Amino acid sequence: MADTIGFVGLGNMGNPMAGRLMDAGHRLVVHDVRPESVAPFTGRGAVAAASPRALADQADVILVSLPTPPVVESVVLGQDGLSQGRRVKTIVDLSTTGPRAAARISEALRGQNKIWLDSPVSGGVGGARAGTLAVMVSGPKAEFERLSDVLKVIGKLFYIGDRSGLAQTMKLVNNLLSGTAMALTSEALAMGAKAGIDPAVMIDVVNAGSGRNTASMDKFPKSILTGKFDYGFATRLMYKDINLFIEEAEAMGLSLRTAAAVRQIWFETLQELGDDDFTTIARLIERRAGVTLRSKGGPS
């Protein structure tokens, strides 16, 4: 008999991932603190659980997609958390939790004969919808292999290692690079715009040359040149991920000056523009440079 799958966290990323699992024919039990996020799934035949514990009483394998490490720890290990459920055997964390939090949770669950897999994802809302996410996994390899057909529904799998936290470290490496690309591409284009070059022309040239990156190829064309600022990832989450990276690096005795500078510009974006879509970092750079990074004829 196939596992019943639980899914906690039906937000920007969780919603399309859970939807793909239903599209693939998996039976889902779902939970989210927002009833309006649950309703579309129950309308398709999923079972709604009133709490994480209630969900873990009904599902064998539970996937978690939540915003911050404290929320993940509370949902998994809290008084009414997943770890208290009678049925659950494996919990898969799709969130960016950080390696130290992952190790703590894994150890706590091991004492209850439950398996923890780190499985952070990268690729944004578009990748979640298309099933093309990079899915990084660490934990017991046998359990990774057993669940690979489930996880393949949401993206391409990368087994990082058997130690809890390794996949989380890999995700932090990825997101530092992503956040750096956003910050530096914004600054580089602001300089070119100040000199009088059309931002859309700059993006075309950069993407045909050696400077291309995820910001120039994806975020700028979709959300910044158009003036939409709607990529689907929050500024506070990008700042959280880069801050986690630096905390982990410092715990290893590393001092990474460029990473610290990138963290600072994301902190300033959060402080000055609030928790909006993370592409609004370009607005901060625009404001400081006195330019606008839009396609000719696009919204300002």
Give catalytic residues, as residue numbers. Answer: 171
What CA–CA distances, in Å, run from 118 to 28, 54, 87, 134, 172? 20, 22, 20, 13, 13
Torsions phi, psi of 125, nearest 5? -60, -40
* Helix (H) or strand (E) run with residue 6 in it: strand 5-8
Widest pairwise Cα distance in the chain: 65
CB atoms within 10 A of CB 38: 17
Nearest to 185 by CA among 268, 267, 265: 265
- Report whether 239 contacts 271 (CB < 8 A): no
Rounded to 5°, the CA angle 78-99-241 comes to 95
- Are β-strands 133-138 and 121-122 bridged in parallel, bridged antiparallel, or unpaired? antiparallel
Q: Which two tokens stand for residue 155?
A: 């993206």
- Burial 244-268, CB ≥16 within 10 A → b, else e: bbbebbeeeeeeeeebeebbebbee
- Report whether 124 contacts 232 (CB < 8 A): yes
